[in-house]
Amino acid sequence: MSLSAILGPLDDASPLPLYQQLQRALRDAISTNVLGPDDALPAERDLADEFSVSRITVRKALDGLVGEGLLMRKQGAGTFVTGRVEKNFAKLTSFSEDMIARGRKPHSVWLSKSEGSVNPEEALTLGLSPGTGVFRFHRIRYADALPMALEFSTVPTAVLSSVAQVDSSLYEALEREGNRPTRALQRLRAVLFTADQAELLGVKPGDPGLLIERRGFLKSGRAVEFTQSYYRGDAYDFVAELNTLS
Amino acid sequence: MSLSAILGPLDDASPLPLYQQLQRALRDAISTNVLGPDDALPAERDLADEFSVSRITVRKALDGLVGEGLLMRKQGAGTFVTGRVEKNFAKLTSFSEDMIARGRKPHSVWLSKSEGSVNPEEALTLGLSPGTGVFRFHRIRYADALPMALEFSTVPTAVLSSVAQVDSSLYEALEREGNRPTRALQRLRAVLFTADQAELLGVKPGDPGLLIERRGFLKSGRAVEFTQSYYRGDAYDFVAELNTLS
DNA sequence: ACCGCAAAGTACCATTTAGATACCAATAAA
DNA sequence: TTTATTGGTATCTAAATGGTACTTTGCGGT
């Protein structure tokens, strides 16, 4: 069944531009699950044929929906309805690696990188003595153009030579210095986003989110990482596979 | 019996790439124990013949599953299904044990026990044919006097003789009938409580919660349980210890 | 007359998917 | 040790897809 047969033709006489009509039609199709998560849209050239418009017009319509985070483009592959990202909770992978494995492009916007001394909370959770030097990282994490999480990381200066070492991936930087954690304790709980957090993530205050606190350890048992990540509840699923139940 | 005969042919016309179709087919075969732990897969060249695709396509499919940790390659020997390792996650599954470990007394209040036919969602998630009979259970779970979670469970009638069998523990009842699940897939996400849910749990509508959906499987791969649990975000933390490396 | 916008047309580029073929490296069995 | 089998890797080809850059046309407002 072709999309145009379901959505109906566009109105050439309408004052609303064609690309906006198409955009609205597709947005409706997505919201009513005519196009479900991860479904591929017809190719741009096919859409253009189906709706009897030019490919440029199709692209303008898709541009808008990509901007809204409803669609995802993969060059050479197609355009897809954005689905929830599924994160395997039982696997100790970094956000960057995770997104790449899912075919999405991760990037971060740094809010701050700084150096200082542990505060009492960090000293407690990381098992460090007061006065120990730490690096602190604060950033927004994106998948493609979609903000996914706010992240606060604390790392002892002993395991990293400088803040500049950390570019796109904290774990990569730790790996380079031979200090990638091999074990971690994670704690997860539900939170509501504050106004500040919501604005950074492009959601509404009071929207649901997931706070994951992670302490990472080396084989030796030494703590090398304390990270608090606030994930968007509407964009993230955590999946676990279990083999023993009780 | 060849794998392709069990899994069916790939769809050349599907918008989903061939290697992803194959990947999903194999993942299903593993999750349903058609391919058990430590089983060897057919050689890449044989898989290519069986499914009428090139070896490269087979390798791309296997690459993904190796990345997910489901398969292990041994050059010169073969490709094998990995044994599971996420033992620590068992903690996530048992409400009762978790509460006891925290020094609290768990108990449940039944809201309903009923018998009926699967709805489409259940049929899909449990892999049952439409019209199959199921038992449904709905209860509130408490820690001491504090309501902690709402639970909806669905179980095929085939694995349980009657609803009356289920008293304090669904798993105990399944155990008595020799149908206790040995493996499960869990999915977790952040939600906001509706007015109905909030009232039952003694929280405010719009408060944050965690929805955990669990599908439980027998050794044979047969699905025996679909449970949705809504946990209070303010009263429950999920803790996990991770050992897996990547 | 000029400008900005919507729309269409055209061409070419980069990436992904899929395949074909060949050869190398590790393993296991004879 | 030898041989066959297995996974690992490297080139190619080709088609389909999204990405981008240009040009042209018509409309409406200034």
Establish if B244 touches chain A: CB-CB under 8 angstroms. Answer: yes
Phi, psi (deg, nearest 5) at residue B216: -105, 140
Rounded mean pLDDT of chain A?
85
One domain, residues A70 and A111: no
Does B86 have pLDDT greater than 90?
A: no
Question: For residue A242, what pLDDT is reported?
Answer: 60
Shared domain check, B171 and B128: yes
For residue A142, the model assigns a pLDDT of: 87
**Chain A 39-68 contacts with nucleic strand C (CB below 7 A):** 52-57, 60
Do residues A99 and A195 share a domain? yes
Confirm whether B239 is domain-assigned.
no
Instruction: Out of B68, B206, B245, name the one closest to residue A92 (CB).
Output: B245
* Protein residue closest via CA to C1' of D8: B75
B19 touches strand C (CB under 7 A): yes
Q: CATH no. for residue B131? A: 3.40.1410.10
Q: Which residues fall within 8 angstroms of residue B148, CB to CB, at 6 or more apart?
A: B95, B99, B141, B142, B201, B231, B232, B235, B236
Question: Residue A97: inside a domain, yes or no?
Answer: yes
Nucleic strand D near CB of residue A75 (< 7 Å): yes
Provide the pLDDT for residue A245. Answer: 42
Polymer length in residues for chain B: 246
**A96 and A40 in one domain?**
no
Q: Which of A91, A208, A244 sits opposite B87 (nearest CB)?
A: A244
Q: Answer yes or no: is B237 within a domain.
A: no
- Chain B residues touching A231 at Cβ < 8 A: 190
- Mean pLDDT, rounded, of chain B: 84
- Number of domains forming the structure of chain B: 2
Domain carrying residue B71: 3-81
Handedness of CA A162, A163, A166, A171 (dihedral sign): positive
CATH of the domain at A59: 1.10.10.10
Q: Which among B148, B152, B172, B160 is positioned nearest to B95, based on CA atoms?
A: B148
Q: What is the pLDDT along chain A (246 residues), one digit of tens a residue?
A: 677 778 777 777 667 788 889 998 999 888 888 888 888 899 999 999 988 999 999 999 999 888 888 898 888 888 999 877 777 776 667 788 777 767 777 888 999 999 999 998 889 888 888 889 999 999 999 887 788 999 999 999 999 888 887 777 788 888 888 888 878 888 888 999 999 999 999 899 999 999 988 888 887 888 999 999 999 988 888 777 665 444
The percent of residues in chain A predicted with pLDDT above 70, rounded, is: 93
Q: Please tell me the predicted confidence (pLDDT) of residue A82.
A: 86
> Which of A206, A236, A240 lies closest to B189 in CB terms?
A236
What's the mean pLDDT in B57-80?
A: 88
Nucleotides of D strand lying within 7 Å of any protein CB atom: 4-11, 15-22
The per-residue b/e assignment along A205-214, b for 16 or more CB within 10 angstroms, e otherwise, is eebbbbbbbb
DSSP, res A40: B
- Specify the pLDDT at position A226: 94
Judge: A238–B209 Cβ closer than 8 Å, yes or no. no
Please classify residue B125 by burial: count the beta carbons closer than 10 Å to its beta carbon, then call 0-12 exposed, 13-18 middle and 19+ buried: middle
Q: Give the model's pLDDT for residue B169.
A: 79
Structure tokens, A219: 């084989």
B58 found inside a domain: yes
Element (H, E) at B81: strand B78-81
Averaged pLDDT, B116-123: 88
Same domain, B205 and B92: yes
**Is the pLDDT assigned to residue B89 strictly greater than 60?**
no
> Which of A50, A81, A112 is the C-terminal boundary of a domain?
A81
Contact present, A218 and A181 (Cβ < 8 Å): yes
**Residue B238 located in a structural domain:** no
Q: Which of B28, B49, B81 is the last residue of a domain?
A: B81
Determine the pLDDT at residue B149: 93
* A154 & A167 share domain: yes
**Same domain flag for B37 and B130:** no
Question: A75: burial class by Cβ within 10 Å (0-12, 13-18, 19+)?
Answer: exposed
Domain-embedded: residue A244: no
Distance CA A160, CA A176 (A): 9
Strand C, nucleotides covered by protein (CB < 7 Å): 5-11, 14-22, 25-28
Interface-testing mutation among B174, B238, B241, with chain A (most A C-beta atoms within 10 A) = B238
The reply to whether A15 and A62 lie within a common domain is yes
pLDDT value, residue A243: 54
Rounded Cα distance, A69 and A83, in Å: 10
Selected residue with higher pLDDT from A115 and B169: A115
pLDDT at B40: 86
**Is B105 found in the same domain as B67?**
no
Q: How far apart are CA B214 and CA B180, in angstroms?
A: 14
Domain match, B39 and B117 both: no
Clarify whether residues B55 and B162 are in a common domain. Answer: no
DSSP string covering A141-198: EEETTEEEEEEEEEEEGGG-S-GGG-SS-HHHHHHHTT---SEEEEEEEEEE--HHHH
Residue B132 lies in a domain: yes
List the single residue in B with minimal CA-CA distance to A76. B17
Closest CA relative to residue A87, chosen from A241, A246, A198, A197: A241
B242 part of a folded domain:
no
- pLDDT 10s digits, A124-180: 888 888 889 999 999 999 887 788 999 999 999 999 888 887 777 788 888 888 888
- Please tell me whether any atom of strand C lies within 7 Å of the Cβ of B230: no
What does DSSP assign to residue A96? Answer: H
Among chain B residues, the shortest Cα distance to A243 is held by: B183
Q: Say whether pLDDT at B243 is over 70.
A: no
Q: Are B66 and B142 contained in the same domain?
A: no
Categorize the per-residue pLDDT at B241 as very low, low, confident or very high, splitting at 50, 70 and 90.
low
Instruction: From A48, A81, A114, give the residue that closes a domain.
Output: A81
